[in-house]
Amino acid sequence: MTTSPPRPGETDPATPAPPVPDAPPAPGQVWRQIEQVAAALTANIERVIQGKHEAVGLAVAVMLAGGHLLIEDVPGVGKTMLARAMAASIQASVNRIQFTPDLLPSDITGASVYNSQTRVFEFEPGPVFANIVIGDEINRASPKTQSALLECMEEGQVTVDAQSHQLPDPFFVVATQNPIDMDGTFGLLEAQRDRFMARLQMGYPSAADEAQIVRARGTREPIDQLAPIASLELIREVVDRCRQVYVADAITDYAVAIVRGTRTDPALRLGASPRAAVQLVAVAKAFAATHGRGYVLPDDIDRLAAPVLSHRLLPATAARGQDVATHLEEVVRGIVHRVPVPVLQPGRTAPPSEGTGSAGPAAPATRRSVRGR
């Protein structure tokens, strides 16, 4: 059966994504090649997820930062599809777990099973033993079951019957959840939310994008056309490279000041943890690398603060006229606005190796000019 050509402006899932290099290059070109890898992954995912370039870019940055991603929104806007598209873009082991109220912790981690032939108990790994684990509707499971992921996400291992079992490397959890006020949902544990590096919301597509989605899925399912474009070895090496991105001390202090600001803000009764500060800087490194830079700018911290911090916070009072997630993001943006932007001297943004001279490049303009500081 033949298929009609795509309409003008429509993405054809059969169109190959931009080529991905086989391995990171020499130090002088590392960041440009990581930018190419990120662009290829983003383009491949966007063959399925239309009109959500910023959300896809954040998801790729979180993955390359070695973190875990939480996708929250109402049903039907593409949460699971984004998770599946990310998994399909990489040559890695993938398992999907559908969280339900009757799911048990051992259904996730695995359990010791008695072998009648050897007469010993043997560990049978659960679906969490994969490079990419898709947790669909994670907040439909009980807190007892949700807690099965705590050790997995923080330490990369599972402990059963006093025996620890290492998870594959890299290990990436991308979970979806429905808004907490929907029927049959359980709020995620504070410790569970804190283990997710970032939360993103998909939102409804524009009218043009929604029409494109309807046309694209009229005769075929675009997700079935996706092919992996990056090897596991490449992703592992890019993750290691992203950790080497330079962060000036002033920018580290800036990120810490924003995180500490959440602990004293009167609109919040629970602020962000030190883990949040670590993960904010980590994802800022990956974000900088995916934009071809080997150094972090204050604007990177500004842009990522809300998706990295907001899901870890608890409001002091119920938000009026808006959902809690949107309210918390606005609180974080207010804190970012109040924290002074660091003044970086020329050559202090990047290490000497990044510049043309021994002192490095001058610091690019930041949101200071936008905010009128």
What is the CATH number for 313? 1.10.8.80
Q: What is the pLDDT of residue 213?
A: 84
Q: How far apart are the first and last CA of the chain?
A: 62
pLDDT for residue 284 is more than 70? yes
Q: What SS3 state is found at 90?
A: strand
Q: Are 366 and 341 in contact (CB under 8 A)?
A: yes
pLDDT for residue 172 is more than 90? yes
Q: Is 306 within the bounds of a domain?
A: yes
Q: What is the pLDDT of residue 273?
A: 95
Mean pLDDT of 260-288: 96
> Nearest to residue 231, comparing CAs of 30, 32, 22, 62?
22
pLDDT for residue 144 is more than 50? yes
- The two structure tokens encoding residue 8: 């003008």
- The percentage of residues in the chain with a pLDDT greater than 90, rounded to a whole number, is 65
Mean pLDDT of 151-179: 93
Q: Is 310 within the bounds of a domain?
A: yes
- The percentage of residues in the chain with a pLDDT greater than 70, rounded to a whole number, is 82
Question: CA 287, 289, 291 angle in degrees (round to 5)?
Answer: 75
How many domains does the structure of the chain reveal?
Answer: 1
pLDDT for residue 125 is more than 80? yes
Q: What is the DSSP letter of 246?
A: B
Q: Is 189 within the bounds of a domain?
A: no
Q: Is 304 within the bounds of a domain?
A: yes
Rounded to whole angstroms, the Cα distance separating 225 from 67 reads 27
pLDDT for residue 8 is more than 60? no
Burial of 81 (0-12, 13-18, 19+ CB in 10 A): buried
Q: What does the pLDDT look like over 292-349, one tens digit per residue?
A: 999 999 999 999 999 999 999 999 986 655 688 889 999 999 999 999 999 876 655 6
Q: Is 211 within the bounds of a domain?
A: no
Would you tell me the crossing angle of helices 298-309 and 249-264 to the nearest 10 degrees?
30
Contacts of 324 (CB under 8 A, 6+ apart): 180, 315, 318
Q: Are 112 and 123 in contact (CB under 8 A)?
A: yes
pLDDT for residue 10 is more than 50? no
Mean pLDDT of 149-155: 94
109-to-66, 104, 156 alpha-carbon distances in Å: 20, 9, 12
Q: What does the pLDDT look like over 103-114, one tens digit per residue?
A: 999 999 999 999
Q: What is the pLDDT of residue 373?
A: 36
Highest mean pLDDT (candidates 245-254, 316-325, 346-355): 245-254
Q: What is the pLDDT of residue 354?
A: 53
Higher pLDDT, 92 or 217: 92
Rg (CA), the chain: 22
Q: Is 151 within the bounds of a domain?
A: no
Q: What is the pLDDT of residue 216?
A: 80
- The two structure tokens encoding residue 202: 């998909």
> Nearest to residue 236, comparing CAs of 24, 39, 18?
24
Q: What is the pLDDT of residue 6?
A: 47
Q: Where are the beta strands (DSSP E) in 84-220?
A: 90-91, 94-98, 110-115, 120-125, 132-136, 157-160, 163-166, 172-177, 198-200
- The two structure tokens encoding residue 369: 């000019």
Residues spanned by the domain of 343: 245-373
Rounded to whole angstroms, the Cα distance separating 328 from 324 reads 6
Q: What is the pLDDT of residue 25?
A: 47
Rounded to whole angstroms, the Cα distance separating 309 from 258 reads 10
Rounded to whole angstroms, the Cα distance separating 240 from 236 reads 6
Q: What is the pLDDT of residue 28?
A: 54
**Average pLDDT of the chain?**
85
Q: What is the pLDDT of residue 367?
A: 53
Please state whether 137 falls in left (phi above 0), alpha (psi between -120 and 50) or beta: left
pLDDT for residue 13 is more than 50? no
Instruction: Assign 121 a pLDDT band (cuts: 50, 70, 90).
Output: very high
Q: Whole-structure pTM over 0.75, yes or no?
A: yes
Q: What is the pLDDT of residue 24?
A: 41
199-to-242, 260, 297, 305 alpha-carbon distances in Å: 20, 19, 21, 11
For residue 223, the tally of other CB atoms under 10 A from its CB is: 17
- The two structure tokens encoding residue 319: 């938000």
Q: Is 121 within the bounds of a domain?
A: no
Q: What does the pLDDT look like over 49-70, one tens digit per residue?
A: 988 999 999 999 999 999 999 9
Q: Are 45 and 86 in contact (CB under 8 A)?
A: yes
Phi, psi of 168 (to 5 degrees): -60, 155
Q: Is 58 within the bounds of a domain?
A: no
- The two structure tokens encoding residue 214: 């309807």
Q: What is the pLDDT of residue 321?
A: 55
Mean pLDDT of 23-51: 83
Mean pLDDT of 121-144: 93
pLDDT for residue 128 is more than 50? yes
Q: Are 312 and 199 in contact (CB under 8 A)?
A: no
